[in-house]
C-alpha cells in the first residue's frame, strides 16, 4: 500500500466501563474503498465518531495526511479533508435539498460575517458560486430534479444520497459513509454503489460502514471486521468472508437479521 492517507492507530473509548471500541487500528490510502463491517453494536459508528472527533478517544491516535489530528475539534477536521454521512439521517429538514448541499460548501465560502450582514455584492457572487457547485453535486448523486424541494419532503433513499452530496461538497480527501445504502431498494443501492466507486476513483479514500454484504464484497478493496469493539479480521473481501471466526461471529448474526426482516 502507498502512504496511507488516514492512519488510525490503537484507538479506543469506553462508556461506563463498556469498551465500545478497543485497540482498533487501520490505514486507508487514496482511491481505496475500505469497509468496516460487524454485528449491531459492534462499535462501527462509535469508531466513526472517534475518527471524526465527535468523541475524544481515551487512547490511540488519528493521523490524516501525516498530521496527528487526534486533538483537533471536529469542525476543523473537515478543513483538513474529512467528511462523513450519518447512520441516523442528519438532514437540515427545514431547508431545501440544494440548500442542504450549499451548507456542505461552507468551507469553500469566503465571505465575512460583516459582509453577510451588510449584504455586500461579494455575498451574492459567493451564493451563486456555492449554488452552482451544490447543483452539480445534486446532479452527480441523481437528485437534480429535487433541488428546490424541501428536504423534509424527500423520500428516505433520496435523503441518503443528499447526505453524500453534502459530504462531497466539503471536497474531502477521506469520505466516511455510515450505512449509506441502509433502507434503500435494489435500484437505489446500485446507484449508491456506482457513486462510491466513482468517488474513490476520483482520488478520495472511502471508509464505508455497510450491512449489505453484496455491496461490501463488490466494491471494497479491504474489509475490517469488528466484533464487540475489537478488530476480528482484516483483509481483502474474499479472505474475510472465508475467515471461520468471521463466519461464526458475524455471518450468523446477518443470517438472523435477514430472518428478522423476512418476518417483518
Partner 1 sequence: MKAILRSRLTPLLALALVMALVPMIAPTSFHLRVAALVWIFSLAALGLTILMGYAGQVSLGHAGFLGIGAYAVAIGPARLGLDPLLCLLLGAVLSGLVAWLVGRPILRLKGYYLAIATLGFGVIVALILHSETELTGGPDGMSVARVTLFGWRVTGALNWYWVSAGALLVGALLALNIAASPTGRALRALHDSEVAATGAGIDVSAKKLAAFVLAAVYAAVAGGLLAAMNGLITPEAASFSHSVELVAMVIIGGLGSVFGTVLGAAFLVVLPQALTAFQEYEQAVLGLLIMVFMIFLPQGIVPSLRALIEERLP
Ligand X SMILES: Nc1ncnc2c1ncn2[C@@H]1O[C@H](COP(=O)(O)OP(=O)(O)OP(=O)(O)O)[C@@H](O)[C@H]1O
Phi-psi region of 224 (alpha: psi -120 to 50; beta: other; left: phi over 0): beta
**CA separation for the pair 263, 95 (Å, rounded):** 37
Q: By CB under 6 A, is residue 164 in contact with ligand X?
A: no
CB 208 within 8 A of CB 197: no
- Segment near Mg ion (CB under 5 A), from 39-47, 145-153, 158-166, 169-177? 39-47
Position among 6, 32, 42, 45 found at the interface with Mg ion (CB under 5 A):
45
Maximum separation of any 2 CA atoms in the chain, in Å: 64
Query: What letter does residue 260 receive in the DSSP assignment?
Result: H
Position among 31, 41, 150, 235 found at the interface with ligand X (CB under 6 A):
41
From residue 146, give the alpha-carbon distance in Å to each of 80, 135, 155: 30, 10, 11
Residues at the interface with partner 1 (CB under 8 A): 52, 54, 74-76, 78-79, 83-84, 86, 90-95, 99-100, 102-104, 106-107, 109, 111, 113, 115-119, 123, 126-127, 130, 166-167, 169-170
Comparison of 90 and 194: residue with beta carbon closer to partner 1: 90
Comparison of 35 and 45: residue with beta carbon closer to Mg ion: 45
Q: By CB under 6 A, is residue 42 in contact with ligand X?
A: yes
Position among 44, 77, 160, 241 found at the interface with ligand X (CB under 6 A):
44
- How far is C-alpha 152 from the chain's CA centre? 21
What is the SS3 assignment for 109? coil
Residue 15 interacts with, from partner 1, ligand X, Mg ion, none (CB under 5-8 Å by kind): ligand X
Comparison of 143 and 176: residue with beta carbon closer to Mg ion: 176
Query: What letter does residue 96 receive in the DSSP assignment?
Result: B
Residue 104 interacts with, from partner 1, Mg ion, ligand X, none (CB under 5-8 Å by kind): partner 1
C-beta of 132: minimal distance to ligand X in Å? Answer: 35
DSSP state string for 66-93: TEE-TTS-HHHHHHTTEEE--SS----T
Interface residues with ligand X (CB under 6 A)? 15, 20, 38, 40-46, 87
Amino acid at each position: 500500500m502507498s502512504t496511507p492517507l488516514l492512519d488510525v492507530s490503537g484507538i479506543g473509548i469506553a462508556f461506563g466501563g463498556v469498551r465500545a471500541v478497543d485497540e482498533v487500528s487501520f490505514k486507508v490510502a487514496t482511491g481505496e474503498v475500505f469497509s468496516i463491517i460487524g454485528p449491531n453494536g459492534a462499535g462501527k459508528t462509535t469508531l466513526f465518531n472517534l475518527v471524526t472527533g465527535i468523541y475524544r478517544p481515551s487512547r490511540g491516535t488519528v493521523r490524516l495526511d501525516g498530521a496527528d489530528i487526534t486533538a483537533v475539534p471536529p469542525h476543523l477536521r473537515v478543513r483538513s479533508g474529512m467528511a462523513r454521512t450519518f447512520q441516523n439521517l442528519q438532514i437540515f429538514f427545514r431547508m431545501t435539498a440544494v440548500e442542504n448541499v450549499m451548507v456542505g460548501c461552507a468551507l469553500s465560502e469566503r465571505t465575512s460575517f460583516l459582509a453577510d450582514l451588510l449584504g455586500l455584492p461579494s455575498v451574492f457572487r459567493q451564493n451563486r458560486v456555492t449554488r452552482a457547485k451544490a447543483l452539480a453535486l445534486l446532479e452527480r448523486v441523481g437528485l437534480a430534479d429535487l433541488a428546490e424541494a424541501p428536504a423534509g419532503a424527500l423520500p428516505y433513499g433520496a435523503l441518503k444520497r443528499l447526505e453524500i452530496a453534502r459530504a462531497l461538497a466539503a471536497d474531502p480527501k477521506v469520505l466516511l459513509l455510515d450505512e449509506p445504502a441502509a433502507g434503500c431498494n435494489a435500484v437505489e443501492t446500485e446507484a449508491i454503489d456506482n457513486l462510491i466507486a466513482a468517488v474513490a476513483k476520483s482520488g478520495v479514500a472511502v471508509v464505508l460502514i455497510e450491512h449489505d454484504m453484496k455491496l461490501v464484497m463488490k466494491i471494497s478493496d479491504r474489509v475490517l471486521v469488528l466484533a464487540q469493539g475489537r478488530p476480528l479480521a482484516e483483509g481483502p473481501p474474499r479472505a474475510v468472508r472465508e475467515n471461520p471466526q468471521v463466519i461464526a461471529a458475524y455471518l450468523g448474526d446477518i443470517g438472523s437479521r435477514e430472518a428478522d426482516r423476512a418476518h417483518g
